[in-house]
Chains A and B, each alone.
Chain A
Amino acid sequence: MRWLQRNIRPEQIRELSLLLLIVVAVLFFGSLIDGYYTSRTFNRIAASVAIITVVAVGQTLVVLTRSIDLSVGSIAGCTAYFAGSMAAAHHDLPPLAVVLIAVALGAVMGAINGVLVAWGRVPSIIVTLGSLAIYRGILIDYSGAKTVTTDSLPAWIVDLPRLTFVTIGNLDIRAMFALAVAIVVLFQIGTSFLNVGRQFYAMGSNPDAAHLIGLPTRRIVFSAFLLSGALSGLAGFMFLARFGNITVEAARGLELQVVAAVVVGGVNIFGGSGTVFGAMLGAIMIGTLEQSLFRLQISEFWRDAILGLLILLAVASDAVILDRLRALWARTDLKLVTRAEAEP
């Protein structure tokens, strides 16, 4: 027990139990659905998880700083449509340029949110509830309710979802899923070991203290929203590649799945605790549920009800169970310290 407490933190126990829950869910669906353990199922889940994960990484940074970004679905929709119509109009545009256009447009939209939250001191829920409506409105007006269609897109975008990055056994790891994992690894390292990354945690744990020790609190909040916007832009491009047909309704409601992934993944809604890796686990859990319920055909109509319940349980278990565990850990630390002092 003491070994456990010395080497594992309560937050890690939470992530491990989520991992266990995912395994249980996969086994459960595997026993109900014929031919569940195939590379086709894996790819279908991975394609959905990849998009949610990329946005969830940005959302994690925002939630860490005690904010929330509800505009990610609208940003992804805008960038998917805009990048799609650019690529359709100019077939000779290099792939990297299309991706950069999407990311840059997302970053600008995120920056607008960030300025209003950090310097305008408007609560993030208000700003992003507003920009959720405004960005979607701009998209509908700009597009004139027209649709980007698959056959108008250059071939490289249409083929991208089936592009395989590496093959392990008979599992093909697609390039888009590999990209999502790479982003998670990059941001996990950044937030664990780099100064700029730790600042997000400092800001979320105690904004006043962060300000007093001289951290640029406003710039931290701003960069969280900027990154969230940029990653949503990237996700918008992935959305374009995955579906090809982009209507003005593209990615509507994505914010709910993403916030669900982040909260289920153990990122505290009060800020200051949680990891990018946890958010990815949350995304995998939600992607698995979504795609498997779809296969089960007890109707996709159950999806939202289960998602809502999952968020509630995640938040409640954080508040009730995790707080007890933290207290237990703190007591043991205290015991160890006093014993060390008593011994000569």
Chain B
Amino acid sequence: MTLPPILRRWETLLLVLLVAIGAVNIAWSPFYLGVGNIVNLFQLSIEKIIVALTMTLIIVNGEIDLSVASVMGLSACVAAYLFHAGIALPWALLASLAAGAAAGAFNGFWVAYVGLPSLAVTLAGLIGYRGIARILVEDRAYGGFPDWFNALGQQPWIGPVTVSIVVFLVMFAGVAVVLHGSALGRLVYVMGNNVQAARYSGVRVKRVKLLLFTASGTVAALAGLLYAARLGSVRGDMAVGFELDIITIVLLGGVSIFGGSGNLVGVGLSILLILNLRNGMGLANITGNTQTSVIGALLVLSVLVPNMAQTLHTKWKGRET
């Protein structure tokens, strides 16, 4: 019993699941296929899926960044704090992007140049960056941004498509080119497979890792600003717990948590899958909290199922010979 290679691929499984969920959603709700719902489906999780793109690079590289949700909160709080201190909003936005880049570079420094495990460093970041955000805004809520900033998150721009969605599409193309079409992308895979071998082959391991973490921080800051624009107000607990969804999207997309394998096609399918799943559960009146439980279960299953499949496969082969 051997399946043709194309059917054994993880992406095929994702596609089948996606079609199944889509079919259930169409049967369930007449509104599902409307343009409004499709845009809405992207719009409701747009910040998470933007960050998932850079998270893909980090995990393929064999590291993890748990601090992204806190950096999202931090960037929004920095912008709101500076704006309310009387600085013009464009400058405040620029400063908050810089703060995100600095936060990412700070993580990257400890991981790449001191050699600490990214799990510990970014866990410290998860707590610490949220802490800085709380120091800035305490328990207040900042609103009253200019209309053009709020429009950034909500107003349709090209047809029904919003700025956030355009940012996502451009970034998806960009990350695809970097990961699958550039020398840097190959280095990311090589380091994920065997960082020692990469170092001995003359790869500037430290510099690549620093670059990736800085990129992760910057993109998380951008996503945080888009989130603030969509909500129209900023609080200290913005985006708490988003790392769960983001990491689930990447791992469900077939990226190995041990690094070195996975591709953006899988991550793209996984994004569509999770968005449709959440949308479908929303249409079926399942609460956000149960949705989070389902996402948690998906996270565990996305690693457990391939593991089990491999174990069974090895046993099968052992019996044949």
Taking Cβ atoms with an 8 Å cutoff, the residues of A that contact B are 68, 116, 120-123, 125-127, 129-134, 136-138, 140-141, 256, 259-260, 263, 269-270, 299, 301-309, 311-312, 315-316, 319-320
* Nearest neighbor of A74 in chain B, beta-carbon distance: B296
B308 on interface, CB distance cutoff 8 Å:
yes
Q: Which residues of A contact B251 (CB under 8 A)?
A: 126
Is residue B134 within 8 Å, beta carbon to beta carbon, of the partner chain?
yes
Report B287 CB to chain A, min CB distance, Å: 8
Do A307 and B299 have beta carbons less than 8 Å apart?
no
B3 at the A/B interface (Cβ < 8 Å)?
Answer: no
Q: Are A304 and B303 in contact (CB under 8 A)?
A: no
A312 to B121, CA, bound (A): 6
B124: A residues at CB distance < 8 A: 308-309, 311-312, 315
Q: How far is the CB of B96 from chain A (nearest CB, A)?
A: 17
Query: In the bound complex, do residue A312 and residue B110 qualify as a contact, i.e. CB atoms below 8 Å apart?
Result: yes
Name B125-149 residues within 8 Å CB distance of A. 125-132, 134-135, 138-139
Please tell me if the beta carbons of B131 and A301 are within 8 angstroms of each other in the complex: yes
Contact B304 A125 (CB under 8 A): no
Can you name 19 extra interface pairs (CB under 8 A) apart from A299-B138, A304-B128, A309-B128?
A122-B303, A122-B307, A125-B119, A126-B303, A129-B299, A131-B296, A132-B296, A133-B299, A138-B293, A141-B289, A141-B293, A256-B127, A259-B123, A305-B131, A308-B125, A308-B126, A312-B121, A316-B110, A319-B114
CB distance from B101 to the nearest CB of A (A): 18
B297–A301 contact, CB under 8 A?
Answer: no
The 10 closest A-B pairs by CB, nearest first: A308-B128, A304-B131, A305-B131, A137-B293, A133-B296, A308-B127, A311-B124, A130-B300, A130-B296, A312-B124
Q: Does B161 make an interface contact (CB < 8 A)?
A: no
Q: In the complex, A323→B114 CA distance in Å?
A: 12
Contacts A130-B296, A133-B293: A120 and B307 contacting too (C-beta < 8 A)? yes
- Pick the contact of A121: B115, B116, B296, B307 (CB < 8 A): B307
Q: Chain B residues near A307: list those with CB within 8 A.
A: 127-128, 131
Is B156 in the interface zone, CB < 8 Å from A?
no
- Contact call A303/B131, Cβ cutoff below 8 A: yes
Note all chain B residues with C-beta closer than 8 A to A136: 292-293
Decide: A116 and B300 in contact? CB cutoff 8 A.
yes
Q: How far is the CA of A116 from the CA of B257 in the complex (A)?
A: 15
Chain A nearest CB: distance from B99 CB in Å?
14
The complex places the Cα of A168 from the Cα of B117 at a distance, in Å, of 44
Q: When chains A and B are docked, how far (Å) is the Cα of A301 from the Cα of B131? A: 7
Query: Which of chain B's residues have a CB closer than 8 A to the CB of A303?
Result: 131
- A301 B138 Cβ-Cβ under 8 A: yes
CA–CA, A259 to B130, complex, Å? Answer: 16
The docked-state distance in angstroms from the alpha carbon of A306 to that of B132 is: 9
Contacts of A137 in B (CB 8 A): 289-290, 292-293, 296
Nearest CB of A to B140, in Å: 11
Secondary structure call for the A interface: helix
> Measured between C-beta atoms, what is the minimum distance from A276 to chain B in Å?
20
Give complex CA distance A141, B286 in Å: 11
Smallest CB gap from B125: residue in A: A308
Q: Is the pair B117, A270 in contact by a Cβ cutoff of 8 Å?
A: yes
| A68 engages B119 (CB within 8 Å) | yes
Main secondary structure of the interface of B (DSSP, over half): helix
CB distance from B311 to the nearest CB of A (A): 8
Cα–Cα distance between A125 and B131 once the two chains are bound (Å): 22
Q: Are B131 and A302 in contact (CB under 8 A)?
A: yes
B residues near A302, Cβ cutoff 8 Å: 131, 135
Give, as a whole number of angstroms, the nearest-CB distance from B122 to chain A. 10
B286 to chain A, nearest CB (A): 10
Question: Given A304-B128, A304-B134, are A316 and B116 also a contact pair (CB < 8 Å)?
Answer: yes
A305 CA / B135 CA spacing, docked (Å): 8
The answer to whether A301 and B135 touch (CB under 8 A), given A122-B307, A127-B300, is yes
What is the CB-to-nearest-CB distance from B110 to chain A, in angstroms, rounded to a whole number? 7
Contact, CB under 8 Å: A316 / B119: no
Check A256/B117 contact, CB under 8 A, given A116-B300, A301-B131, A305-B132. no
**Residues of B close to A260: CB separation below 8 A:** 127
Chain A's nearest CB lies how many Å from the CB of B44? 18
A174–B119 alpha-carbon span in the complex (Å): 36
Nearest-CB residue, chain B, relative to A123: B257
Which B33-90 residues have C-beta < 8 A from chain A? 64
A320 touches B297 (CB 8 A): no
Q: How close is A2's CB to chain B, nearest CB, in angstroms?
A: 31
CB <8 Å contact, B125 and A120: no
With contact pairs A123-B257, A315-B120 given, residues A304 and B130 touching in the complex (Cβ less than 8 Å): yes
State A74–B308 Cα separation when bound (angstroms): 27
Give the shortest distance, in Å, between A296 (CB) and chain B (any CB): 14
* Residue B247 interfacial (CB < 8 Å): yes
How far is A85 from B225 in the complex, measured between Cα atoms in Å?
Answer: 42
Interface membership of B244, Cβ < 8 A: yes
Which residues of B sit under 8 angstroms from A299, Cβ to Cβ? 135, 138
Whether B293 pairs with A308 at a CB distance below 8 angstroms is no
A residues near B127, Cβ cutoff 8 Å: 256, 260, 304, 307-308, 311
**Nearest B residue to A127, CB-CB:** B300
Docked-complex contact B297 and A129, CB < 8 angstroms: no
Residue B295 at the chain A interface, CB threshold 8 Å: yes
Once the chains are docked, how many angstroms separate the CA of A320 from the CA of B251?
Answer: 32
Complex interface bits, B149-188 against A, C-beta within 8 A gives 1, otherwise 0 = 0000000000000000000000000000000000000000
Residues of A within 8 A of B297 (CB): 130, 134
CB-CB < 8 A to A122: which residues of B? 300, 303-304, 307
A120-B289 contact given A263-B120, A311-B124, A312-B124, CB 8 Å threshold: no
23 CB-based A-B contacts, threshold 8 Å: A120-B307, A121-B311, A123-B303, A129-B247, A130-B244, A131-B300, A134-B297, A137-B290, A137-B293, A141-B290, A141-B293, A256-B126, A269-B117, A301-B135, A304-B134, A307-B128, A307-B131, A308-B128, A311-B127, A312-B110, A312-B128, A315-B120, A320-B114
